[in-house]
Chains A and B, each alone.
Chain A
Amino acid sequence: KQEVTQIPAALSVPEGENLVLNCSFTDSAIYNLQWFRQDPGKGLTSLLLIQSSQREQTSGRLNASLDKSSGRSTLYIAASQPGDSATYLCAVTPPGGGNKLTFGTGTQLKVEL
């Protein structure tokens, strides 16, 4: 059974700092990995999707990497802003693609002024 863990569970940083969120999964046989952002009362927003054949994806100040063989992914946030405060979740898709996401435990990020 696939298990996804995220470290740290919570993180507080000053504005402007670069930071790294970690995601590890026990079964390296995945189709892809997604990073989501969850804001209170606003559900989940997909940030980045990395296919199993890819090593990284970038969107603006966000960069996600994937090392499938070691079962790890990182989400790098550059020049953090208070608006980045949210819970960040990673989720993996099993081989064959599609639908059943297994979510990580989440990292609650607070960026302070």
Chain B
Amino acid sequence: SAVISQKPSRDICQRGTSLTIQCQVDSQVTMMFWYRQQPGQSLTLIATANQGSEATYESGFVIDKFPISRPNLTFSTLTVSNMSPEDSSIYLCSAWEGAKNIQYFGAGTRLSVL
């Protein structure tokens, strides 16, 4: 199974700043995704990180707010830009192994915006 390392594990940020979250997978995977889990809520898909091209965003999420990179098959970053307290959430990276049709998740980044 794939092992996913996500950094940072948590951060406290000031309003108006940006934070970049890194996601490293220990093997090449077919697809990588970014999810948000707001307090008391379930997970919502933000976007699919496409290798070598622009990410595919879900309804309600835009590139200017959540720019995503995926330079290779094992690494992706999510930036939360111009943060506000409403961005306080857990952000999770996942990797999908197509052959097994299983998604593996990182430990998440707990973000608090003051």
Chain A residues near B (Cβ < 8 Å): 4, 32, 34, 36, 41-46, 49, 89, 91, 93, 97-101, 103-106
Contact at B105–A43, with CB atoms within 8 Å? yes
Question: How far, in angstroms, from A49 to B104 measured CA to CA in the complex?
Answer: 12
- Given A98-B96, A98-B98, A99-B33, A46-B103 contact (CB < 8 Å): yes
Contact B33 A103 (CB under 8 A): no
CB of A49 to closest CB in B, whole Å? 6
CA distance A106 to B4 in the complex (A): 22
Residues of chain B within 8 A of A93, CB atoms compared: 101
B-side binding surface: helix, strand, loop or mixed?
A: strand
A101 contacts B107, CB within 8 Å?
no
Which residues of B are in contact with A by a Cβ distance under 8 Å? 4, 6, 9, 31, 33, 41-45, 48, 92, 94, 96, 98, 101-108, 110
- Whether A100 touches B45, Cβ cut-off 8 Å, given contacts A46-B103, A49-B102, is yes
Whether the Cβ atoms of A49 and B9 lie closer than 8 Å is: no
CA of A89 to CA of B41 in the docked complex: distance in angstroms? 11
Most buried by A among B98, B103, B104, B106: B103
CB nearest to A32 among chain B residues: B101
26 CB contacts below 8 A, A to B, read A34-B102, A36-B105, A41-B9, A41-B108, A42-B107, A43-B4, A43-B6, A44-B43, A44-B105, A45-B105, A46-B102, A46-B104, A49-B101, A89-B42, A89-B43, A91-B43, A97-B101, A98-B96, A98-B98, A99-B103, A100-B33, A100-B48, A103-B43, A103-B44, A105-B41, A105-B42
Give the residues in chain A near B98, CB-CB below 8 Å: 98
Using known A-B contacts A41-B9, A43-B92, determine if residue A101 contacts B42 with beta carbons closer than 8 Å.
Answer: no
In the bound complex, do residue B107 and residue A41 qualify as a contact, i.e. CB atoms below 8 Å apart? yes
Residues from chain B with Cβ under 8 Å of A44 in the complex: 43, 92, 94, 105
